[in-house]
């Protein structure tokens, strides 16, 4: 589905990003992954397969993003696919959230998406596909999730505006909207509500969350990867500015 295409996945070292990088690779793409942790980058590179480029990047740093784009240009030339996936998730209750915690979440989930795309836009090929990672929370109100939900609503909005802005270059921008997906990020969401939570309590949180999902279980990273590969491929060639919801019915039913 992606034969001959070159794809960049930020946050490609874990969870949804790693599963997507693997599926893109299996579908014939040349894959570049970006993440902060050298050891995670190396193990992801080995896990994904041959010919993968792993770059140490902090999406919070514009200098790091500029360096990433120039390294990609040097190594592979242009990009056909960009999955802006790196992100964080933790609770931000109205009463107790500090300004630093608010800024850290918004900077990673919103500002870094804007400046990641700004950095790679010059190396996107005409007709490229950009996929932004939003979340089911962009449509519903859940206590303690104000900053996270608003950050993902901003990302949902970006997919519309960037689509309009990049239309002259026929670059399509769409969003994927995962529900609750079983990745390491959930530990942050589950545990910061109850600092010091034990492993058993965390499992209880997951079991309780699963009951809220019409499908009856959390999603798997590979189920989001399938949607991203579709959005990355020519099969979705008439879609732009849209949101593909993959959440077991969580935000829709």
Ligand X SMILES: NC(=O)c1ccc[n+]([C@@H]2O[C@H](COP(=O)([O-])OP(=O)(O)OC[C@H]3O[C@@H](n4cnc5c(N)ncnc54)[C@H](OP(=O)(O)O)[C@@H]3O)[C@@H](O)[C@H]2O)c1
CA count, 13 A, side-chain hemisphere, 245: 11
What are the distances in angstroms from CA 3 to CA 46, 52, 198, 246? 20, 14, 45, 24
* Closest CB to ligand X among residues 58, 165: 58
Min dist CB 238 to ligand X, Å, is 25
* Closest CB to ligand X among residues 10, 139: 10
* Closest CB to ligand X among residues 128, 189: 189
Min dist CB 168 to ligand X, Å, is 28
The torsion angle over the Cα atoms of residues 125, 60, 150 and 96, rounded to 10 degrees, is 170
Residues that bind ligand X (CB under 6 A): 10-11, 13-17, 35-37, 40, 57-60, 85-89, 108, 133, 135, 178, 180-181, 183-186
Min dist CB 156 to ligand X, Å, is 11
Min dist CB 160 to ligand X, Å, is 18
Which one-letter DSSP state was computed for residue 250?
A: T
Question: Which 3 state secondary structure label does DSSP give 34?
Answer: strand
* Closest CB to ligand X among residues 166, 213: 213
Min dist CB 98 to ligand X, Å, is 19
Give CA angle at 130 (56, 225), nearest 5°.
Answer: 75
* Closest CB to ligand X among residues 240, 250: 250
Strands 124-133 and 243-246: unpaired
């Amino acid at each position: 589905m992606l034969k001959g295409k070159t794809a960049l996945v930020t946050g490609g070292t874990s969870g949804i990003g790693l599963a997507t990088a693997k599926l893109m690779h299996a579908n014939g793409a040349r894959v570049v992954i970006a993440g902060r942790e050298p050891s995670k980058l190396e193990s992801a590179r080995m896990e994904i397969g041959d010919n993968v480029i792993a770059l140490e990047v902090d999406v919070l740093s514009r200098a790091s993003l500029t360096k990433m784009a120039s390294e990609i240009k040097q190594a592979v030339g242009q990009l056909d696919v960009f999955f802006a996936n790196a992100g964080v998730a933790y609770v931000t209750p109205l009463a107790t959230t500090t300004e630093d915690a608010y800024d850290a979440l918004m900077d990673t989930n919103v500002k870094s998406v804007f400046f990641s795309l700004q950095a790679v836009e010059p190396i996107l090929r005409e007709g490229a596909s950009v996929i932004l990672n939003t979340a089911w929370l962009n449509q519903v109100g859940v206590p303690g999730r104000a900053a996270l939900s608003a950050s993902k609503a901003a990302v949902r909005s970006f997919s519309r505006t960037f689509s309009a802005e990049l239309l002259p270059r026929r670059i399509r921008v769409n969003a994927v909207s995962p529900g609750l997906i079983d990745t390491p990020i959930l530990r942050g969401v589950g545990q910061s509500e109850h600092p010091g939570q034990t492993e058993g309590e965390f499992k209880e949180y997951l079991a309780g969350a699963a009951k809220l999902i019409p499908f009856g279980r959390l999603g798997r990273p590979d189920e989001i990867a399938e949607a991203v590969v579709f959005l990355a491929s020519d099969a979705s060639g008439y879609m732009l500015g849209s949101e593909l919801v993959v959440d077991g019915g969580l935000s829709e039913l």
